[in-house]
Amino acid sequence: MSAMKWLLVMISLLWMGNLVAQQNKQKAVSASPTAPLTYVSSWGPVGSGSAIAAQIAAIAPAAVLVKDNRGETYTVNAFRINYKFRSSYKDDETEQVKFMNDLRVSDFNNTSQLSSVWAESIKDNVKAGDTILINKILFRNKTGKLQLAPDIRIAVK
């Protein structure tokens, strides 16, 4: 086989391989809309994980959000906040200062935000060592049905 024929055969094979690869890529892209929806929750820009106290104070009035893996945002209808923090008191018998874990819990319905009282309290009191759990997050999915979203767990550092 002459060099010219060999070159034409190689170019044809490369071109056909590229064409097949493009067709497979198009099939993969068109298959993604049928992938099951997954959801992630956040409190303003903060999701589960850790955050510094100043960041939590700044987002206290922010809305609880739910997004799916396609980037669509859903309106939150209700949620519960569990705010655990360390507090101190003076023991009347021993006159010593003692520490204990304290927990405040509240449900919020027909809203995606904390009340102004809760937001101000968190703003004023949040400190390293506190933990915040936002759970029982309800939102309406694309079909209009109420659905639970994943919890948000934040360790304040």
Are 130 and 95 part of one and the same domain?
yes
Residue 17 is predicted with a pLDDT of 59
CB under 8 A, 24+ apart: contacts of 27-33: 33/70
Are 88 and 12 part of one and the same domain?
no
Look up tokens 């809760």; give the residue.
118
Q: Alpha-carbon distance 112 to 99, whole Å?
A: 33
Are 142 and 101 part of one and the same domain?
yes
Are 146 and 98 part of one and the same domain?
yes
Nearest CA to 87 out of 102, 77, 97, 66 is that of 102
Are 54 and 131 part of one and the same domain?
yes
Q: Alpha-carbon distance 130 to 142, whole Å?
A: 35
Are 12 and 76 part of one and the same domain?
no
Are 45 and 28 part of one and the same domain?
no
Are 69 and 141 part of one and the same domain?
yes
Which sign, positive or negative, has the C-alpha torsion 154, 40, 65, 29?
positive
As a whole number of Å, the CA-based R_g of the chain is 27
Q: Alpha-carbon distance 127 to 51, whole Å?
A: 10
Contact 138, 76 (CB under 8 A): yes
Q: Alpha-carbon distance 79 to 150, whole Å?
A: 11
Residue 89 is predicted with a pLDDT of 87
Are 96 and 133 part of one and the same domain?
yes
Residue 114 is predicted with a pLDDT of 97
Residue 120 is predicted with a pLDDT of 97
Residue 34 is predicted with a pLDDT of 74
Nearest CA to 33 out of 137, 142, 151 is that of 142
Instruction: Please list the ranges in the chain whose pLDDT falls under 70.
Output: 1-33
Are 96 and 139 part of one and the same domain?
yes
Residue 24 is predicted with a pLDDT of 60
Note down the domain range covering 16: 3-34
Domain count, the chain: 2
Are 122 and 136 part of one and the same domain?
yes
Are 56 and 78 part of one and the same domain?
yes
Q: Alpha-carbon distance 111 to 121, whole Å?
A: 18
